[in-house]
Amino acid sequence: MKRRSNYNRSGILTFLLAFVVTAIFVPIGEIGGEGIMLKTGNYLHSPAPNGGNSPDWKESGVISAADGVLFDGTPAYAGWMGSATSHPTVNVVIDLLKDYPLSQIRIVLNSPNKYWGFKDITVKYRPESATGYYIATRHVRTGTDLNYSVTVPMSNMSARFIVLNIRRTQAYQHIPLTEVEIYRGSGVEGQNPSPSLIQEDLQAELKKEALLADKFGQWMNETWPGKVATETQMRTEYANEAAALANIALDATKYDQYGGIKSLGKQASTGYFRLQAINGKWWFITPDGYPFIVKGVDATSLWESGYKTPILKPDGTLKQIFEALPDRTAYAPAYTRDAGGEYVSFVVANVMKKYGSDFESKWEDITKKRLIQWGFNTFSKWTKPKSVTFPYIQSLQDPSTLRRILWTYDVFDPQSGPIIENALKAQLLNTRYSKWLIGYTYDNEAGWTTDIVKEVLTYSASSPAKSAFVDFLAQKYNGSLASVNQVLGTNAASFEALKDIPVDIAKVPAADVSGYIRLASGTYHSMIRDIIKKYDPNHLFLGTSIVPTWRTSLDWDHAAMNYVDVFSVDSYSRDGSWISRYEGYGKPLLNLEHSFGSSERGLSYISLATVTTSIRERGLAYQAFAESQAAHPLFVGSGWYSYYDQPVTGRPDGESYNVGLVNQQDQPYTEMVNIMRTTHAGLENVHLNGLTSP
Identify the H or E element spanning 485: helix 481-488
Q: 489 falls in which pLDDT band (50, 70, 90)?
A: very high
Centre a 10 Å sphere on the Cβ of residue 389 and count the other Cβ atoms it contains: 11
Decide the pairing of beta strands 63-64 and 149-167. unpaired
Q: Is pLDDT above 50 for 21?
A: no
Burial 417-454 (b: 16+ CB within 10 A, else e): eebbbebbeebbeebeebbbbbbbbbbbbbbbbbebbb
SS3 39: coil
Torsion of CA 179, 180, 181, 182, to 10 degrees: -170
pLDDT computed for residue 615 by the predictor: 97
User: Before 47, cis peptide (omega within 30)?
Assistant: yes
Q: 692 falls in which pLDDT band (50, 70, 90)?
A: confident
DSSP 161-218: EEEEEEE-SSTT-BEEE-EEEEEE-SSPPPSSPPPPP-HHHHHHHTT--B--B-TTS-
Q: Is pLDDT above 90 for 23?
A: no
Q: Is pLDDT above 70 for 12?
A: no
Q: Is pLDDT above 60 for 5?
A: no
pLDDT computed for residue 27 by the predictor: 33
C-alpha span between 591 and 625 (Å, rounded): 11
Answer yes or no: are the C-beta atoms of 294 and 638 closer than 8 Å.
yes
pLDDT computed for residue 446 by the predictor: 96
Q: 35 falls in which pLDDT band (50, 70, 90)?
A: confident
Q: If you compute the radius of gyration of the chain from its CA atoms, what whole number of angstroms results?
A: 29
Torsion of CA 483, 489, 492, 494, to 10 degrees: -20
Answer yes or no: are the C-beta atoms of 81 and 51 closer than 8 Å.
yes
The pair phi, psi for residue 666, each rounded to 5°, is 65, 35
pLDDT computed for residue 608 by the predictor: 86
pLDDT computed for residue 26 by the predictor: 33
pLDDT tens digits along 207-242: 999 999 999 999 998 899 999 999 999 999 999 999
Exposed, middle or buried: residue 193 (CB in 10 Å: 0-12, 13-18, 19+)?
Answer: middle
Q: What residues form DSSP beta bridges with 295?
A: 638
Residues with Cβ within 8 Å of 676's Cβ and at least 6 positions away in sequence, in order, are: 374, 375, 376, 619, 622, 623, 626, 661
Identify the H or E element spanning 370: helix 359-374
Q: What residues form DSSP beta bridges with 395?
A: 441
pLDDT computed for residue 128 by the predictor: 96
Q: Which residue in 318, 245, 257 sits closest to 292, CA to CA?
A: 257
In this prediction the pTM is: 0.87
Q: 693 falls in which pLDDT band (50, 70, 90)?
A: low
Contacts 24+ apart (CB under 8 A), 527-531: 527/411, 527/416, 527/417, 527/420, 528/420, 528/442, 528/443, 528/563, 529/563, 529/564, 531/417, 531/420, 531/421, 531/424, 531/428
pLDDT computed for residue 694 by the predictor: 57
pLDDT tens digits along 642-671: 999 999 999 999 999 999 999 999 999 999
User: Before 55, cis peptide (omega within 30)?
Assistant: yes
pLDDT tens digits along 163-188: 999 999 999 999 999 999 999 999 99
Provide the mean pLDDT of the chain.
94
Answer yes or no: are the C-beta atoms of 364 and 387 closer than 8 Å.
yes
Residues with Cβ within 8 Å of 201's Cβ and at least 6 positions away in sequence, in order, are: none
Q: Is pLDDT above 90 for 11?
A: no
C-alpha span between 291 and 278 (Å, rounded): 9
DSSP 614-627: SHHHHHHHHHHHHH
β-sheet with 341-344: strand ranges across:
309-310, 341-344, 335-338
Q: How far is CA 141 from the centre of its chain?
A: 18
Share of the chain above pLDDT 90, in %: 92
pLDDT computed for residue 33 by the predictor: 64
Beta strands of 443-525 (E only): which ranges?
A: none
pLDDT tens digits along 76-100: 999 999 999 999 999 999 999 999 9
Give the chain's length.
694
Share of the chain above pLDDT 70, in %: 95
pLDDT tens digits along 246-259: 999 999 999 999 99
Q: Is pLDDT above 90 for 8?
A: no
C-alpha span between 394 and 545 (Å, rounded): 12
3-state SS string for 556-590: HHHHHCCCCCCEEEECCCCCHHHHHHCHHHCCCEE
CA-to-CA separations, 624 to 617, 627, 628, 659, in angstroms, rounded: 11, 5, 6, 17
Q: Is pLDDT above 50 for 17?
A: no
Answer yes or no: are the C-beta atoms of 15 and 76 closer than 8 Å.
no
Residues with Cβ within 8 Å of 478's Cβ and at least 6 positions away in sequence, in order, are: none
SS3 682: coil
